Structure 1
Amino acid sequence: MRVRFSARDDAWSEWAPALRAACPEMHLDRDGDPATFDAIIYAPGGDITDFAPYANVRLVQSLWAGVERIVGNATLTQPLARMVDPGLRQGMAEYCAGWAMRAHLGMDRYAQDGIWRNGQIPPLAAERPVTVLGMGELGQAAAAMLTALGFPVTGVSASGRAVPGVSVLPIAQLDQALARAQILVCLLPDTPATRGLLDADRLSRLPDGAWLINPGRGTLIDDEALLRGLDRGRPGHAVLDVFRTEPLPGDHPFWAHPAVTVTPHIAAETRPATAAPVVAQNLRRAMVGRPLLHLVDRDRGY
């Protein structure tokens, strides 16, 4: 099979060896006659913007979990699959669990300033309700790790479909889920239905002092409403890994706000070592007409 690699120039040296090792029967190229390719491996920053000439392509495999930058491309009529791999799931779960534990244990209270604060004892995890907003592959991975740590976890999804070990509510009951969330983890995709979902009204429904952790999509939250809410203590702190503009401009108010922790979009990286086997499996499925893994629903946008 002949496969076109379309991603940033610096990705080639990192990805090509892993992809070739995982799928040695693949002939991987960075350019060539569009009519000769069977599949495309894609990431934002690649040189393909018009997919129409690639009429024989049976799969466009994204290297990113988010597909909002490509799913609306009118020229893309080929099957599109997003990336979900073990390393991505594990990395996201670890990020969410790590920051949830920091919030839960109040680690930032213990300044090294000579003051003995032994009266500030956290509750047990079982007494700290967590809501995970978005119960796709990454949300389920985060919920499973948080549950294993002892937190009572409520999930929220568009369907409300059951997930083992987690109480799941449909998005219609979002306000109820927010009201119980001492820690809110946001892992929804970027779609028209989710943009600005956490506005001033919804943020005000969080308990006083709640922590908000957003490694999902920056478009989910109304930035101005979040800053006003932080000033009132709802939420009490926000850990933000994703933003409407990235890199986050140096003069953005998030950098200076004492109740905001900015991390530079590092929650869950797609790692070639764990992702290349997933790409190889999907390529082989596409070549023999088997159902594709993580196929994107164009209407839903993910």
Structure 2
Amino acid sequence: MSVLVISPGRDPEAWVQELKNQHPGMQIFAYPEEHNKEDIEYAIAWKHPRGIFKNYPNLKVIASMGAGVDHITSDPEIPKNVTITRIIDDQLTLDMSAFVLALVMNHLRNLSFHHNHKSWEPTNYLKIEDQNIGVMGVGVLGSAVVKTLTNVGFKVSGWATQPKPQSDVTIFGKDQLDEFLGQTTIVVCLLPLTQQTENILNKELFKKLPKGAYIINVARGQHLVEHDLLEMVDTGHLSGASLDVFRKEPLPEEHPFWQHPKISITPHIASVTDPKKVVPQLVENYIRMTEGKPVKNIVKREKGY
């Protein structure tokens, strides 16, 4: 029984070493290191080559290296009997909440404006009490962002494609998107990427927002129709956007986002997985699998998260 760490383009050494530290007896292979495919029962993956897992006849579990799992669930060739798990990590959650708050405050207080425009003149800024922040996606990360923004004093609401338990803030349902958008001045996208949410940040959605609304996308680049955003910012309907995720990463140098004065770019850094923080739960699931017990943090493949 062996473990495969597969993360093309990302150095797996820190993961392999931490796995060995946490479970010295674990036999680990780092792709594309030579290994016997029949021995692999547990895979830890990030953006694996499409179709590769169909070649592992005894694979039981694929564990995502991060909170996102669309890089796994979007592969149609993963055998149906293989369980997919995701990471739930307090540090990732805290980092995401702090990052979104920083982007919101940068927008409200024009924190980058003076440096970018070499201007010493004070600028008018937007008040916290005048904003209605709408968080699209109120799972683990989204719920934490809602709580952080609420604690600062923002009026916050959420929108979810699935019913959510009672909350201290209003959570709009799937059929209430128009109502949610109509009162939202800052949109934060934290939706999982599914067939239903792909391209959801498009012109039709933007038109339903009040004039001057602002977009923050820290979910996936495939949520955003890029040319629609550019058009709606250039026409003045949207005041701008902060984007941390993109359809193609790294974002090409020639991409118009780089030069646009109302679009802020960060290189997918909202929350970064620390192997030391998350390997213990990967090892726990490995042990549970070997003992025939149910693993934790299972992804519902029919939902995509």
TM-score, normalised with respect to structure 1:
0.89
Residue identity matched to 1:34? K
Q: Give the secondary-structure state (helix, strand or coil) at the position aligned to 2:63.
A: strand
Q: Give the secondary-structure state (helix, strand or coil) at the position aligned to 2:158.
A: strand
- Larger displacement relative to structure 2 (152-161 or 76-85): 76-85
The reply on whether 1:29 has 2:29 as its aligned counterpart is: yes
Among residues 215, 219, 222, which one is paired with 2:218 in the alignment? Answer: 215
Among residues 62, 70, 73, which one is paired with 2:72 in the alignment? Answer: 70
Structure 1: how far apart are the matches of 2:50 and 2:114? Answer: 51
Whether contact under 8 Å (1:87, 1:275) holds in the other structure is: no
Look up the match of 2:237: 234
Look up the match of 2:103: 99
Give the share of equivalent positions with the same residue, in percent: 30
Residue identity matched to 1:98? A
Look up the match of 2:87: 83
Whether contact under 8 Å (2:114, 2:120) holds in the other structure is: no
Look up the match of 1:59: 61
Change (3 A) 1:132 1:13: same
Deviation of 1:22 (Å)? 2.7
Residue identity matched to 2:109? L
Structure 2: how far apart are the matches of 1:28 and 1:48? Answer: 21
Residue identity matched to 1:99? L
Structure 2: how far apart are the matches of 1:19 and 1:163? Answer: 39
Residue identity matched to 2:52? D
Residue identity matched to 2:273? T
Change (3 A) 1:9 1:213: closer
Structure 2: how far apart are the matches of 1:89 and 1:162? Answer: 19
Change (3 A) 1:274 1:103: same
Structure 1: how far apart are the matches of 2:155 and 2:294? Answer: 35
* Runs of at least 5 residues in structure 2 that lack an aligned partner in the other structure: none
Look up the match of 2:260: 257
Look up the match of 1:113: 119
The reply on whether 1:12 has 2:12 as its aligned counterpart is: yes
Whether contact under 8 Å (2:54, 2:77) holds in the other structure is: no
Structure 1: how far apart are the matches of 2:9 and 2:191? Answer: 29
Count the aligned residue pairs. 298
Q: Give the secondary-structure state (helix, strand or coil) at the position aligned to 2:58.
A: coil
Whether contact under 8 Å (1:183, 1:212) holds in the other structure is: yes
Residue identity matched to 2:85? A
Change (3 A) 1:203 1:250: same
Deviation of 1:205 (Å)? 1.7
Look up the match of 2:287: 284
The reply on whether 1:187 has 2:190 as its aligned counterpart is: yes
Change (3 A) 1:97 1:34: same
TM-score, normalised with respect to structure 2:
0.89
Look up the match of 1:162: 165
Deviation of 1:216 (Å)? 0.5
- Larger displacement relative to structure 2 (159-168 or 188-197): 159-168
Q: Give the secondary-structure state (helix, strand or coil) at the position aligned to 2:215.
A: strand
Change (3 A) 1:228 1:48: closer
Look up the match of 1:197: 200
Structure 2: how far apart are the matches of 1:48 and 1:204? Answer: 36
Structure 1: how far apart are the matches of 2:58 and 2:84? Answer: 14
Deviation of 1:66 (Å)? 2.5
Structure 2: how far apart are the matches of 1:12 and 1:150? Answer: 41
